[in-house]
Amino acid sequence: MKIVHIAKFYPPEPGGIENFVFDLANSQVRQGHQVTVLSHQTGFAKSSRQETINGVTVLRVRAFGQLAHAPVCPGFPRHLHTIIRRFQPDIIHAHLPNLSAFWLLFLPKTCPLVLHWHADVVSSALDRKMRYLYPLYKPCETRLIQKADRIICTSRAYLDTSPALRRQRKKCVVIPLGLDPSRMAVSEPSDTPAFKKRTNRLLVLGVGRFAYYKGFEYLIQAAEKTPDAHFIIAGDGPGKSKIQNQVIARSLQHRIFLPGQISRDELIHLFYQCDIFCLPSIERTEAFGLVLLEAMSFGKPLVTTSIAGSGVAEVNLPGVTGLQVPAANAEALAGAIQFLGRNPEIRMKMGQMAKKRFQNHFDIRFVAHRIETVYGDLIQSDKKNAAQPVYTNLF
């Protein structure tokens, strides 16, 4: 089967969607498929670049910066048209949100189209610019939804609450995101100088882009109420300086560490070291939380928040794989962390259940197989429709 993925970015560019597309594409190559990924070049590249990574053909199209989180990429439609014409894919799989996927509206449809609905374009009081930009985005989004043959949603909760998909529910199928555990597999480190655990205190880890919806400010407040624990929040983003200022203002530099953007190996070492993984997000922009799967693959108990319409609650089962508390509530976060800190047997049991749940539900092999079934059904239906005779009214 020939598969084309249309993605916003592709590793080594960091991000949950990026890592998922990477794992899915690699898994599909191992299944024997021919896979091409069309994405955007990051930084200030002078030209587009094609390379082969683990058998996946990756074409990164030159972008001229970003506008409202969207790459400005005038060369994208030309490269997209060329790939479709030369590669002749059996399936086109577009990962949204991604403004460049709208170029599919202006090209003839030559094969089934699958949309992967990672998230709505959410307008909120915390990100007001989307309130004004979404009306410009929505008409093309609606047309692309209508053109799609199937839409994959990452959770039932997100599908049930997505305004954009309300009228196209019959096209939708729920398949969770997945992770390739081999991507996170290294021998357990004996020494990690940059993040070596300095004491025997409980270590709580948070990872993510410092964006408005991540809720890291509530984790800082929770840390202040949890004096027996150390905290590491790894990542970068526009909100990092604000979080740093909060740490300094509370004189918590000795217990809260913000190492910034870290390497994959450093992240793996942190997962080995931590006792608890916390994702304190505060709104539905956190559609799934792929980083939770990474923590689960290491057997770590989770502390997450209750977000209406988010798939986070379908990943972390409260009382089984971790604890769930109300969003934007530092007291509740602190209480959950303290409970797990005081009860190591429960903490270890939840970590074991988290790893088991990951292995049974979120390993990329199972997810890729379910997606392959969707592809197969669409291709068979497409062939059947093509074989139907066309009758012309002669009278």
For 156, other C-beta atoms within 10 Å of its C-beta total: 13
- Give whole-number Cα distances, 233 to 114, 174, 303, 321, 395, in Å: 35, 31, 14, 21, 74
In the block, residue with structure tokens 């749940």: 357
- Give whole-number Cα distances, 144 to 49, 113, 373, in Å: 27, 9, 22
Please tell me the predicted confidence (pLDDT) of residue 194. 46
Measured CA to CA, the distance from residue 228 to residue 206 in angstroms comes to 17
The packing angle between helices 264-273 and 290-297, to 10°, is 60
380 membership: H or E segment, kind and range: helix 364-387
Q: Which CATH class is domain 185-362?
A: alpha beta
Dihedral angle over CA of 375, 23, 92, 13, nearest 10: 160
Q: Where in the chain is the domain with CATH 3.40.50.2000?
A: 2-180+363-381, 185-362
pLDDT tens over the chain, length 395 residues: 999 999 999 999 888 999 999 999 999 999 999 999 999 987 666 789 999 999 999 999 998 766 666 777 889 999 999 999 999 999 999 999 999 999 999 999 999 999 999 999 866 555 566 666 777 889 999 999 999 999 999 999 999 999 999 999 999 999 999 999 999 886 555 555 445 555 578 999 999 999 999 999 999 999 999 999 999 999 999 999 999 999 999 999 999 999 999 999 999 999 999 999 999 999 999 999 999 999 999 999 999 999 999 999 999 999 999 999 999 999 999 999 999 999 999 999 999 999 999 999 999 999 999 999 999 999 998 877 766 654 444 33
Question: Pairing state of beta strands 150-153 and 172-174?
Answer: parallel
Asked whether 303 and 296 are in contact (CB, 8 A), the reply is no
Q: What is the pTM of this model?
A: 0.92
CATH value of 2-180+363-381 in 3.30.930.10, 3.40.50.2000, 3.60.110.10, 3.40.47.10: 3.40.50.2000
Cα 173 versus chain centre, distance: 17
Q: Which residue from 159, 25, 10, 19 is spatially nearest to 93, judged by alpha carbons? A: 25
Measured CA to CA, the distance from residue 114 to residue 96 in angstroms comes to 10
Measured CA to CA, the distance from residue 360 to residue 133 in angstroms comes to 40
Question: Pairing state of beta strands 150-153 and 91-96?
Answer: unpaired
3-state class of 15 per DSSP? Answer: coil
Please tell me the predicted confidence (pLDDT) of residue 389. 53
